[in-house]
Chain A
Amino acid sequence: MASQIVSAFGAVIAGVFACALYYWLSDKLLQIVLPVRSGDVQRISANLKTHAAIRPWLFLGPALLLMIVYLVYPVIATFILSFYDRSGGNFVGLANYWWAATDAQFRQSIFNNILWLAVVPAACTFFGLVIAVLTDRIWWGNIAKSLIFMPMAISFVGASVIWKFIYEYRGADGTQIGLLNAIVQFFGGDPQVWIAMPIWNNFFLMVILIWIQTGFAMVILSAALRGIPEETIEAAVIDGANGWQIFWKIMVPQIWGTIAVVWTTITILVLKVFDIVLTMTNGQWNTMVLANLMFDWMFRGGGDSGRSAVIALVIMAAVTPIMIWNIRQASEDRGGH
């Protein structure tokens, strides 16, 4: 154990050192091969120009390499693999796509993903907005925000254990140690196995993600609310608008852009939801979602790269509109010099 700590520590130092060494050495090499400190003026000026042309690529090199190997190439490879069989060796045309179109579990996953997409981003944004408005109006608002934001630091697996304990079921006659069943019993209801109730169990899993992500929505929306110009509110007050009208007709329209950012960010997260379903139900009781189905096919019976590639591509297709929108936004307000 101690040796592992030492080797981890060593890896950090070696990694950082190697990185630093690369940038330092490549810069030194450039200086030696194309000197700019001495020599005739024309030569220096020519060398300086070459420096300016080469340096950006030296700086960008490692980052580009990593992104190409780990992101760009795999996207293309996954696309190609979706036309091949389980081992990736034989071309099968559209067979994997046909499988997806006719597979019941795949349809179930799509249906569940749509349910998640319909509920989670809306719930997080709504609760986040309400809590942001409420906490902005009290003196201990920052403490409250901190507490609501805190689940964001908790892993999905940790959160799943936390909520599995809340949903715990101990037989119809046993003492209920799960909070939800204890409350139900207190009000005279019958305890239920919450995570095994088809359709509804999806919502019990969604609660976990809402619990985690509402804080994120709240933080972003709270900052946007503070940026609303005072005059617009004052004008509405003078015109006799009440608090409700001011909120819906003056404040919300002015933060539309931010609401869209929050909504899309959570949408992307929802499309990739994996850990929660894996740890809560592992896709049983009709809770399967795309990311879990894909993981399942990656390893099921030795793995089927063709079918899991198709599932990955479906997730990719769903995020593509958001991706294009992001790129548009980023190129509109591009900084830089």
Chain B
Amino acid sequence: MTATTHSPLLSEAGQAVERHWRELAGRRRLYTIGGIVFMVLAMSGSLWFANESNAGKFFDRLPYLFDFVGQMMPRDGWEIWRALFDLPSPYDDGSLKYNYPDGRIYLTETLYLPEYFYKMLETINIALVSTLIGFGLGFVLCFLAASNLTTRRWLRFFVRRFMEVLRAFPEIVIAGFFLAVLTIGAVPAIIAVSIHTVGALGKMFFEVVENADMKAEEGLRAAGANWVERVWFSIVPQVMPNFLSYALLRLEINVRASTIIGAVGGGGIGEALRLSISRTHEAKTLAIILLLFCTIVAVDQLSAWLRGRIVGKQAFEFGRGG
């Protein structure tokens, strides 16, 4: 900028302002440059460390990446459909790779549910059950954590810390523990995802409750209602749309989470995907990825549509509370 050329014309006060502005701009630039240098150093250090401690080095393994993509190409495009709908394959040699019809789940004599659809339904059910459980418990806990409803400081503190621990506790550990106690299957996944959901939803819920309009509550208080009545008739109707919308958001996240927990032994589609990728069953892998992709898109769209109907065009930061 050419601000300097005008400086002789400025009054003394003007020069002071100019000087001050210069100082501020200079400091700002210094911070920006310092931040960038720090980020560059941290990033290069991180990437170097990641590369060093990885089993294969990035540039050594890069050609294999493309090999691997090539390996993932099925023998013909129809194989994906056959794997997806459990139709017999012309390449069937008795190995696990082409035994698509083996996984059929027969509902009647002839009508069957393809294996991966069944597994996908299992995963969706895990997510749905966990979201419902999390919604129920989070609903109960959130009123105890809200400062406008719970006056006992110690109770609020305790409930909030409890929900924080539930939220931050790694799901994988809960899943692993219950996999050891129960057997491999969906129940450990449900428990793990539910516990996390209680914490995550509880936190969002109590923030909503704290922003609720307290006039209705005052009215009920004046009429002599007890705590439960006040919460149920004055707060719940206000916050319910937001609660539902957060729960739907959580459902989207939980579908992904239950897929991941599935891959470590929680059953469902995640496990099928892990097995087929590790055994290089290309058609099966692509079929599962396709199915998973379509399901996630469908769940996201459905949830976005429902949320739009419930709370209108109010925007939400998705992924909040991860």
Are chains A and B native binding partners rather than an unrelated pairing?
no
Q: Which residues of A contact B (CB under 8 A)?
A: none
